Amino acid sequence: MTSMLKPNKLKGVIAAIATAIGPDGAPDCGRSTALARFLLANGCDGLNVLGTTGEATSLSLDQRKSVMSAYAAAGLPMERLMVGTGAAALADAVALTRHAAALGFAGALLLPPFYYKGVPDDGLVAYAQAIAQATAATPIPLYLYNFPAQSGLKWHIGLIQRLLATLGERIVGLKDSSGDMAYARQVAEISADFSVFPSTEAVLMDARSGHFAGCISATANLNADLCARAWRNGDPDALKLAAAIRSLFDGKQLVPGVKALLAHIHRDQAWAQVQAPLCAYSDAERTALAALYDRLRAPAGTYARAIA
């Protein structure tokens, strides 16, 4: 495999950053990149742009490219950012991954092609191979995105091993949103060089011991400072509080809830807007959620409230 591959440096607290949506349904790139800068300054080691929390699959190809370009144009540290480039259409996934590589993103996160269910491993290998081959000239590191509850497809252990044997160092890690910690641990044991990021802050102590590379979490939009204290200092009280904030969304729609709290934290109601088919929380739901959040955060001090 070519030596042009960038070193794999992503680790630690990575927020699955939300994407601001304007009243016309288009991405609000100004708000989105301002939030990125805020999160990187307030505890995040990196960001996962245009993932599930970023509502990527509800955006068009051109909209996703525009968001990606806005991050680069804003002068953000691209070596700390991965971006979701998976798509149902292979040609779209190739176009997005090429764009990510050209812009200098540190990694591309590949959701499997999610419309057809029960496809053979050969089809998923062909998908990953095509993306790798199309970006061979600018070989951006590829991370697999395992979220079978949404995609209906799983990057299972045998398939991951086959991809590593086929594509070598191009496949560098995996984000696991399955909630199956036994699976995440099995994947992490495949290779010490394979970076596994579960989707919950609760694993940060395990990550400190080297088992995982860190976490990629939606709620790190809201508790990045607490996650950073857990990751960097091993602070159990901070981790407990971060987990309590995450539990506010148990049994609720996570993405609209995260955006409702972003609107509250940053005193900017535009952040509550989501893209169809998601639905924003009602005023009553947002008020109740904000009160619970403020009550939890009170012992830890106020999270910075101004996006510069």
Per-residue pLDDT reduced to its tens digit, 229-267: 999 999 999 999 999 999 999 999 999 999 999 999 999
Digit-coded pLDDT (tens) for 271-291: 999 999 999 999 999 999 999
Instruction: Please state whether the predicted TM-score (pTM) of the whole model is above 0.85.
Output: yes
Token pair 């508790």: residue: 223
Give 195's strand partners: 173
pLDDT greater than 90 at residue 5: no
pLDDT band at 1 (very low <50, low <70, confident <90, very high): very low
Spatial contact of 153 and 119, defined as CB atoms under 8 Å apart: yes
Digit-coded pLDDT (tens) for 37-89: 999 999 999 999 999 999 999 999 999 999 999 999 999 999 999 999 999 99
Digit-coded pLDDT (tens) for 7-30: 557 999 999 999 999 999 999 999
Q: What is the DSSP letter of 29?
A: H
Question: What pLDDT, on a 0 to 100 scale, did the predictor assign at position 4?
Answer: 44
Provide, rounded to the nearest whole percent, the portion of the chain with pLDDT above 90: 92
pLDDT greater than 70 at residue 219: yes
Continuous H helices in the chain: 29-41, 61-73, 90-103, 121-134, 148-151, 157-167, 181-188, 204-208, 220-233, 236-247, 254-265, 283-297
pLDDT greater than 90 at residue 304: no
Residues in the chain: 308
Question: What pLDDT, on a 0 to 100 scale, did the predictor assign at position 299?
Answer: 75
Q: How far apart (Å, rounded) are the C-alpha atoms in residues 233 and 58?
A: 37
- Mean pLDDT over the full length of the chain: 94
Spatial contact of 200 and 186, defined as CB atoms under 8 Å apart: no
Question: What pLDDT, on a 0 to 100 scale, did the predictor assign at position 308?
Answer: 45
Spatial contact of 286 and 66, defined as CB atoms under 8 Å apart: no
Over residues 97-114, mean pLDDT: 98
> Can you read off the two tokens belonging to residue 183?
């699976």
Digit-coded pLDDT (tens) for 167-210: 989 999 999 999 999 999 999 999 999 999 999 999 999 999 88
Burial class (CB in 10 A: 0-12, 13-18, 19+), 244: middle
Q: Which fold has domain 12-233?
A: TIM Barrel (3.20.20)
Q: Which of 262, 272, 276 is nearest to 17 (CA)?
A: 262
